Structure 1
Amino acid sequence: MKKRKVPLRKDIVTGEMHPKKDLVRVVKNKQDEVAVDPTGKMPGRGAYISLDVEVAKLAKKQKTFDKAFGIKVDASFYDDLVAYVDHQQARKELFGNDA
């Protein structure tokens, strides 16, 4: 069986390349609304961040998505992002890579 190529994406906070399934996409739409995109298919400008709570907290501290999207991102979005990443990280530890 032929080995499939694993799609890689760059983590916007650390600058490291990771497999796409180990990252979460954050998207900004035309109305300048920023949201977490768990499916990876929402329309708009996307940026990726690792499923690591420390990286999410660093993004909040550095206001990474403000710089990436060129808009003022609400502080509550960063809190939601940290909570989402924490939840996904816990799922991964509990269920392994199948989750």
Structure 2
Amino acid sequence: MSQKKIPQRKCITCQDRNSKKTLIRIVKNKDGEIFVDNTGKANGRGAYICATKECLEKAIKTRALNRAFKLEISEKVYKDLSEEIEKYEK
């Protein structure tokens, strides 16, 4: 019996590859809205970030999300990301 393949994704800040479930997905849908995708299945362009404060701080500093989605990211998205990371750390 073969083992099921675990989907791997790359963090946009540290470039580490991890399983999809350990990363947080940020999505830009066709209407241009950017939000944290808790389901991992929302339609649109996705970017992944590690669930650590270090990666979030680096993403803010290097503007990694701005480059990934090719537009300016609002402060609300970063606030939502911060709250999501706090859930992971508990």
* TM-score (structure 2 length as normaliser): 0.90
The equivalent of 1:16 in structure 2 is 16
Partner Cα distance (1:32, 1:61) in 2: 22
Local SS of the residue matching 1:40: coil
The equivalent of 1:62 in structure 2 is 62
Bigger relative contact order (CA 8 A; separation at least 6): 2
Partner Cα distance (2:17, 2:36) in 1: 19
Once the 2 structures are TM-superposed, how far is the Cα of residue 66 of structure 1 from its aligned partner? 0.8
Instruction: Work out which of the two has the higher radius of gyration on C-alpha atoms and give 1 or 2.
Output: 1
The equivalent of 1:29 in structure 2 is 29
Partner Cα distance (1:66, 1:42) in 2: 19
**Which 4+ residue blocks in structure 1 deviate beyond 6 angstroms?**
none
Deviations 1:33-59 (A, max 9, x none): 110001011111001111112111211
Q: Report the AA paired with residue 12 of structure 1.
A: I
Deviations 1:2-48 (A, max 9, x none): 32221111111111110111101100011211100010111110011
Local SS of the residue matching 2:42: coil
The 5 A counterparts of 1:1-99 are: 1-90=1-90
Q: Relative to total residues, which structure has the larger helix share, 1 or 2? A: 1
Deviations 1:46-87 (A, max 9, x none): 011111121112112222111110011112211221121122
In structure 2, the gaps of 5 or more residues are none
Q: Report the AA paired with residue 47 of structure 1.
A: A
Identity of aligned residues (%): 38
CA-based RMSD:
1.3
Local SS of the residue matching 1:81: helix
